[in-house]
C-alpha cells in the first residue's frame, strides 16, 4: 500500500526493500523484517529457514567400458536411508536398485537420481560403452616327434599371455605373438590375447608327441573331372595316398591324404503341360514345348545338370452335336460328343435331366430351356469346357388364338358353327359360353363340343349380336376371351 516501506536483513539478502524476499539458503538462517507505515509506525517480525542436507549422488567414474562375458552392473555409492532411481529404466533389470544390471547393452549415458528421507534429491551420470572381444586364432603343428621343435603363431590381439603343459620361448618380445615350443610329452598350450579395450579371448592347441613314428591324415575332396594336386601330382581318382618322410630327430613321419571324388549329376526331367499352364524351371516360367537345360551346384560344390523335356499337350478338336436344338416338353434329344480321345473323362451338368452325367453321349429330356456344360478331361489331365443349349418349346401360343366375329348357320357347309380357332398346340378350351343381348345363357360348351350351331334348346336363334366368354389354358398358362359375334341368317 502507499506509504508502507519494507526493510529485510539476513544472509544473502539482495533486494532488502521488496515486499517479497527470495533468497538461496546455504545454511539454517534467520531473516528479519521491519515494516513502516505512512504514519511512521513500525512493526517487526522474523522467520527462521532450516537448510536440510542434500544426499550424495555418485554413479562411479565418469565412464565405464564392459567386455563380452562380464556382468554389466552399475554401482552407485551407498548411503543410509537413500532411494535410487536409474534411467533409462527400460534397459535395466531393476531401475530402483543401487546396483542394477544392464540387460539390453546400449551404449550411452545412464543417470542415477538419489533421494533422502527429507525428499531432497541429487543426480549423477556415467557413460557406458561396450567393447568387442578380440577374434583370437592360434596355429601350429598338432603332431610332433619327440625332440622336434615348433613355432606357434597367435593372431587377433595386441598383447598375449601364454600358459600350458610345457614352457614356451617368446620369439618377438614384448608382443610375444610367436613362441617356440619343444614339448617332451603330449599336452595343451593356451594363449590369452587382449585388444585395445582390454577385452580378452582365449585359444588353445593340443599337441601330441610321439617317440619314433607319427601319422597324419588329411581329407581332400574334388569333383569328377577336376583333378587336384596330391603330393605334387594331379589326381581325380578317389583313394588313400601316403608319403613317408624322415624328420631331423629321426622320427618317421607318414602323411596320408584321403581323396574323395564326387560325381557330377545329370538329371533328366519330363514334364507334360496343358495349354495355358506354365512350369517353373531355372528361374523362368516355361509354357512352350522344347528342351531346356539348367546348371546347378550340389551340396559338395560339384556341377549338376538338369535337362528338361517339356511337352505341351495339343488338345483335340471336340464339339457337341444334337439332332435338334429345340424340343417340346416330354421329348428327348441325344447329345453326341465328337472328337473325344479314348480314356477321357466326362462330367455333364446339370445332371438332373440327363440319362448319364459321366458318359460321352447322354440323352437329355429337359422341362425347360437348358444349357448343358461338359467338363472334358483327357488322359493327360487337360481340361476343356464345352456348352450346348437345348430350347424347350412348350407349344403354348395363347396369343395366337382367334375368335370369329360373324358366322352364318344356314347349313350350306360354310361358317355354320362358331367357336375359337386354336393354333394347334397344347392349348385347351376349358370354358365356352354364349349369351344373348339380355344376358341369357344360350350356349355352354363341354369337352368334345366346343362350337355353337346358333340354336338354343334346338330352336334356331334369330339374326342378332351375341356375347361370348371363352377360357383357354396351356400347361400352367390361361387366357380369358370376351367379345361379340354376329349371327346372320
As a whole number of Å, the CA-based R_g of the chain is 58
Give long-range contacts, CB 8 A cutoff, 24+ apart: 351-360.
360/336
Q: pLDDT for 410-427, tens place per residue?
A: 989 899 999 999 877 778
Q: What is the mean pLDDT of residues 248-267?
A: 80
Cis omega before residue 289 (within 30°)?
Answer: no
Between these two residues, 3 and 342, which has the higher pLDDT value?
342
DSSP state of 488: -
Q: What are the residues whose beta carbons fall under 8 Å from the beta carbon of 342, sequence distance 6 or more?
A: 379
Task: Indicate whether 247 pLDDT > 80.
Answer: no
pLDDT band at 452 (very low <50, low <70, confident <90, very high): very high
Question: What local confidence, expressed as pLDDT, does residue 464 receive?
Answer: 95
Residue 416 CB neighbour total at 10 angstroms: 14
Q: Which CATH architecture has domain 63-130?
A: Sandwich (2.60)
Q: pLDDT for 9-43, tens place per residue?
A: 888 888 888 888 888 888 888 989 899 888 889 99
Q: Which helix (H) or strand (E) holds 45?
A: strand 42-49
Residues of the chain with CATH 2.60.40.1080: 319-392
Task: Indicate whether 460 pLDDT > 90.
Answer: yes
Q: What is the mean pLDDT of residues 235-244?
A: 89
pLDDT band at 249 (very low <50, low <70, confident <90, very high): low
Task: Indicate whether 323 pLDDT > 90.
Answer: no
Q: Cα–Cα distance between 290 and 3 in angstroms, integer?
A: 114
Question: What local confidence, expressed as pLDDT, does residue 402 receive?
Answer: 92
Residue 151 CB neighbour total at 10 angstroms: 13
- 398-487, what's its fold? Immunoglobulin-like (2.60.40)
Task: Indicate whether 1 pLDDT > 60.
Answer: no
Q: pLDDT for 362-386, tens place per residue?
A: 999 998 889 999 999 998 889 999 9
Q: Kind of pairing, strands 406-407 and 477-487?
A: parallel
Q: What are the residues whose beta carbons fall under 8 Å from the beta carbon of 421, sequence distance 6 or more?
A: 401, 402, 403, 404
Query: Which residues partner with 334 through β-bridges?
Result: 363
Nearest to 376 by CA among 338, 339, 341, 347: 347
Residues of the chain with CATH 2.60.40.10: 63-130
Q: Cα–Cα distance between 310 and 266 in angstroms, integer?
A: 17
Cis omega before residue 251 (within 30°)?
Answer: no
Q: What is the mean pLDDT of residues 330-339?
A: 90
Q: What is the mean pLDDT of residues 163-191?
A: 93
pLDDT band at 438 (very low <50, low <70, confident <90, very high): very high
Provide the strand spans (E) within 236-301: 239-246, 252-262, 265-273, 279-281, 284-286, 290-297
Q: What is the mean pLDDT of residues 243-257?
A: 77
Q: pLDDT for 278-305, tens place per residue?
A: 999 888 899 899 999 888 777 777 777 8
Q: Which three cell numbers stand for residue 339?
A: 472328337
Share of the chain above pLDDT 90, in %: 53
| Predicted TM-score (pTM) of this structure | 0.39
**CATH among 3.60.15.10, 3.30.460.10, 2.60.40.1080, 2.60.120.380 for 319-392:** 2.60.40.1080
pLDDT band at 210 (very low <50, low <70, confident <90, very high): confident
Q: Which of 239-248, 297-306, 312-321 has the lowest mean pLDDT?
A: 297-306
Mean pLDDT of the chain: 89
Question: What local confidence, expressed as pLDDT, does residue 80 receive?
Answer: 87
Q: Cα–Cα distance between 411 and 433 in angstroms, integer?
A: 22
- Considering only the top CATH level, what class is 137-209? mainly beta
Amino acid at each position: 500500500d502507499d506509504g508502507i516501506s519494507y526493510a529485510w536483513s539476513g544472509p544473502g539478502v539482495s533486494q532488502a526493500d521488496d515486499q517479497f524476499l527470495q533468497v538461496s539458503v546455504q545454511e539454517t538462517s534467520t531473516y528479519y523484517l521491519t515494516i513502516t507505515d505512512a504514519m511512521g509506525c513500525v512493526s517487526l517480525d522474523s522467520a527462521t529457514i532450516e537448510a536440510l542436507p542434500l544426499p550424495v549422488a555418485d554413479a562411479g567414474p565418469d565412464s565405464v567400458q564392459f567386455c563380452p562375458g562380464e556382468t554389466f552392473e552399475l554401482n552407485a555409492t551407498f548411503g543410509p536411508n537413500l532411494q535410487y532411481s536409474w534411467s533409462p529404466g527400460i534397459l535395466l533389470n531393476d531401475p530402483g536398485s543401487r546396483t542394477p544390471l544392464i540387460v539390453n547393452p546400449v551404449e550411452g549415458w545412464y543417470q542415477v537420481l538419489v533421494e533422502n528421507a527429507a525428499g531432497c534429491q541429487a543426480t549423477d551420470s556415467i557413460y557406458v560403452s561396450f567393447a568387442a572381444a578380440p577374434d583370437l586364432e592360434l596355429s601350429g603343428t598338432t603332431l610332433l616327434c619327440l625332440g622336434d621343435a615348433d613355432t606357434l603363431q597367435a593372431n587377433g590381439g595386441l598383447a598375449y599371455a601364454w600358459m600350458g603343459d610345457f614352457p614356451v620361448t617368446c620369439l618377438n618380445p614384448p608382443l610375444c605373438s610367436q613362441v617356440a615350443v619343444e614339448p617332451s610329452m603330449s599336452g595343451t598350450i593356451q594363449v590369452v590375447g587382449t585388444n585395445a579395450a582390454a577385452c580378452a579371448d582365449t585359444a588353445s592347441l593340443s599337441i601330441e608327441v610321439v617317440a619314433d613314428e607319427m601319422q597324419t591324415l588329411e581329407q581332400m575332396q574334388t569333383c569328377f573331372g577336376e583333378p587336384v594336386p596330391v603330393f605334387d601330382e594331379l589326381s581325380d581318382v578317389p583313394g588313400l595316398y601316403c608319403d613317408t618322410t624322415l624328420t631331423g630327430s629321426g622320427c618317421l613321419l607318414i602323411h596320408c591324404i584321403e581323396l574323395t571324388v564326387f560325381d557330377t549329376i545329370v538329371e533328366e526331367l519330363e514334364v507334360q503341360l496343358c495349354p495355358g499352364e506354365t512350369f517353373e524351371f531355372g528361374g523362368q516360367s516355361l509354357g512352350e514345348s522344347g528342351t531346356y537345360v539348367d546348371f546347378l551346384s550340389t551340396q559338395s560344390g560339384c556341377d549338376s545338370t538338369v535337362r528338361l523335356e517339356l511337352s505341351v499337350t495339343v488338345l483335340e478338336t471336340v464339339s457337341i452335336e444334337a439332332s435338334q436344338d429345340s424340343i417340346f416338353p416330354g421329348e428327348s434329344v441325344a447329345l453326341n460328343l465328337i472328337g473325344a480321345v479314348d480314356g477321357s473323362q466326362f462330367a455333364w451338368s446339370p445332371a438332373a435331366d440327363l440319362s448319364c452325367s459321366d458318359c460321352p453321349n447322354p440323352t437329355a429330356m429337359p422341362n425347360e430351356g437348358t444349357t448343358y456344360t461338359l467338363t472334358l478331361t483327357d488322359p493327360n489331365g487337360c481340361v476343356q469346357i464345352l456348352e450346348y443349349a437345348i430350347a424347350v418349346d412348350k407349344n403354348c401360343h395363347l396369343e395366337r388364338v382367334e375368335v370369329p366375329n360373324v358366322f352364318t348357320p344356314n347349313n350350306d357347309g360354310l361358317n355354320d358353327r362358331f367357336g375359337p380357332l386354336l393354333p394347334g398346340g397344347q392349348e385347351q378350351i376349358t370354358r365356352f359360353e354364349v349369351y344373348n343381348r339380355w344376358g341369357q345363357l344360350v350356349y355352354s360348351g363341354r369337352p368334345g363340343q366346343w362350337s355353337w350351331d346358333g340354336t338354343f334348346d334346338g330352336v334356331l336363334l334369330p339374326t342378332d349380336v351375341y356375347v361370348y366368354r371363352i377360357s383357354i389354358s396351356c400347361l400352367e398358362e390361361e387366357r380369358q376371351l370376351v367379345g361379340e359375334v354376329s349371327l346372320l341368317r
